[in-house]
Structure 1
Amino acid sequence: MGQPTSAAIKPDGRKLYQQVAAAVAEAIQRGEFAPGQRIPSERELADAYKVSRPTIREAMIALEVIGIVRSRHGSGIFVADNPQLDAPTVGLDIGAFELTEARRLFEAEAAALAAVSITDEEIATLEALIGDMERENLENVSGEHADREFHVTIARATRNSAVVDVIESLWDARYKSPLCAHMLERARSVGVQPRIDEHQFILAALRDRNPKAARTAMRDHLARVIDGLLQATESDALERTRAEVAARRTDLAKRVAV
């Protein structure tokens, strides 16, 4: 036991992470991984199933949410002592990586279109919303209310109701999907917040009525959101190492001061 059966995931109508989660659950059911045993690394699983590491990350978090695996700080992912192998993964719906990738595609083009038709009043609204974002960050407000309104305001500035509907639905999916909500909450718990400077870059491009710059600023922003989610969802495994390094640094400082 200890290595997954190597087989590329074939499209079957389910989301890719759901297929991987189901494959790992089946491997556990077959006895390839015993209760309490450590699951192979993301890299090993990605190689075995021929998918990206973010897909593996979503699959592992999905299995954790429904009680098939559990994470240990600094140690990795382990099969639960009593894995709930009959729990469905389909109901978890969309994951944060998949959702943010879709947002990057749609919102970048929306920002470019908005740059052509945005009004001074809407620019002023975006400026105020950045101020609200800063306040919410300081007060550690969950839900990113000002962040959502910032992006939806840009969608409205396109003067296209279909664009607004799509972008609002993508934001609403953040709260409707248990998997996505779990991943975002994990990110918040380790300090991931809306990035003020990136929103200011978007605003500057819109203020200049520059579609190309607005598209680029939005794409760069959401690419960094994906990077932040990747770091946040692996930070559990790194937390112990960081704490140990901090403790050694403090000890060394005390010794140097003697």
Structure 2
Amino acid sequence: MSADPSSLSELSRLSRPQALSEEISARLASRIAAGEFAPGDRLPTEKTLAEAFGVSRPVVREAIARLRTDGLVETRQGAGAFVAAASRKPRLRFEPAATAPLAGKAAGAAASADADAAALREIFELRAMLEPVVAGLAARRAEAGHLATLKSSLDEMDAALATGRNAARADDAFHNALAAATGNRHVMQLMDFLGAHFSGTREVAWRVEGEGAPYSAEAQAEHHALYDAVAAGAADAARDRSLAHVRGVAARAGITLPADLGDFPLSPSGDHP
């Protein structure tokens, strides 16, 4: 059963830009607690929620991520967010407040001007610490199905770039597929959760207006290099290219990461497990 989107119509527009995702998650949580959304109900779509609250879709993703880590909802690939059973326990807590300004503004002017530089730096530092390790492990363990999913997301981004469309969602899918290729369910859960917070940085890379167009082309070239390394089973190369990608996106957002961040060997034996 799907929750009725009309029940959101009386919501006033939000007025605290620095805490949009927190306020949305709190309002939805109160409705779940009141029984307006019952266990098993599908929440309204991102688009419906974004329109109801007067915010961007990345902000809604932040709110859903918060509900998910509080154990209130679960997400299903391609199906949306569903109210979880009452017995479900909260999992990892990761405050989204620092990423909300970026998520809400990524489609606007330059990120270096619109978003808090310290918050941006923290997001990119976290990506630089985690994503290369995931990429290296994916290169060692990826099977044909994983590579097909990665290639599909890569092709979708290519098509979007060629037609001037934003493909941040396909970008998210690409990185989620890398996590899936590790075969480690905890890695998948962590990266799926953090992906909601990383979406804002990917929106920056995929802006297609004005100065954003070459940025998107550079980001996509980095994706191709990363895919090639994973497909070849080259773990160290995948790690290096993943780190180069994060550094590239950060630099294009006006953020310079420390030179030694993420600079550690994947294993003493390099590409060989």
Q: TM-score range by the shorter chain?
A: 0.3 to 0.5
Q: Which has the higher contact order (CA 8 A, sep 6+)?
A: 1
Bigger helix fraction: 1
TM-score by length of 2: 0.45
Structure (1 or 2) with the larger CA radius of gyration: 1
